[in-house]
Amino acid sequence: MRVAIADDGALFREGLVMLLRAAGHEVVGSVSDGDKLVALVATDPVDVAILDIRMPPEPDGGLATAERVRALRPETGLLLLSHYAETHYLMRVLEIGTEGVGYRLKEKVAGVQVLDDTLTRLASGEIVIEPSLAKRLVERPAGGDGPVGALSEREHDVLRLMAEGRTNNAIAKELFISAKAVEKHIAAIFTKLDLPGDPSVHHRRVLAVLAYLRARRIDG
């Protein structure tokens, strides 16, 4: 896969370049700010662009740059990295696009396998969300009441994996159940949470789940 990286932290950036090469990817460019990345992908298209959220142009250059890259090269996958797992940034990432976008913590892509998995998912148009953030979003409230509290243990696991942006097949593999069983659980979750939209359309379903979970956390 052809990849470009923009991060103003040279130490982390150079490490990631080596890791990408070790994973067999071609690193087309490694730059320190958003403007340079835009110039780079304009002349030399890549499959995935990796961007640090907090880099120049300040204060959130990664998000603004990702928007410009999406407008310039809509087919390029975008992986936004941060030291913070914030639902606010997640929502901003999803405003940039709902296909081939990802938001992960920097330290969580520090292995060849996880990096490979993340890039492959992005290149195939999936949404990739930091699992620890998804986990926080699906946490049951202390009292255990409300619609999320009413989900079965298995449905709760499925909801968490949906919030990570996982496809039916990936959920089935992770939970050692059939794809058919996953579909049934998802239908039950959509009914219990009264979610809008078609659960079979991947990105719509991720958006519906995230919007619901975030509203639940914020509005109580």
Partner 1 sequence: MNPITRWWRRVRPVRLRPVDPVTCALRRGLERDLNDGPAQRVAALSVELGLLSVDLPDDPALAGRIDQLQGSLDTVLAELREIGGALYPPVLASDGFEPALHAVAERHGVALAVSGGPVDRDTADAACLAVADHLRSVPRDTRLDVRVRRGLGSVWVDITEERQCG
Residues that bind partner 1 (CB under 8 A): 9, 11-12, 15-16, 18-19, 22, 54, 59-60, 63, 83-84, 86-89, 105-108, 110-112, 115, 136, 139, 141-143, 214, 217-220
Output the CA angle 65-66-69, nearest 5 degrees. Answer: 85
Query: In this complex, which beta carbon is closest to partner 1, that of residue 34 or of residue 100?
Result: 34
Burial class (CB in 10 A: 0-12, 13-18, 19+), 212: buried
| Chain mean position to CA 116 | 14
CB of 184 to partner 1, least distance (A): 30
Query: In this complex, which beta carbon is closest to partner 1, that of residue 104 or of residue 202?
Result: 104
CB of 83 to partner 1, least distance (A): 5
CB of 111 to partner 1, least distance (A): 4
SS3 state at 99: coil
Query: In this complex, which beta carbon is closest to partner 1, that of residue 153 or of residue 220?
Result: 220
The closest alpha carbon to 30, from 16, 47, 44, belongs to: 16
| Chain mean position to CA 128 | 3
CB of 68 to partner 1, least distance (A): 17
Neighbouring-strand partners of residue 27? 3
Structure tokens at 16: 């990631």
Query: In this complex, which beta carbon is closest to partner 1, that of residue 44 or of residue 86?
Result: 86
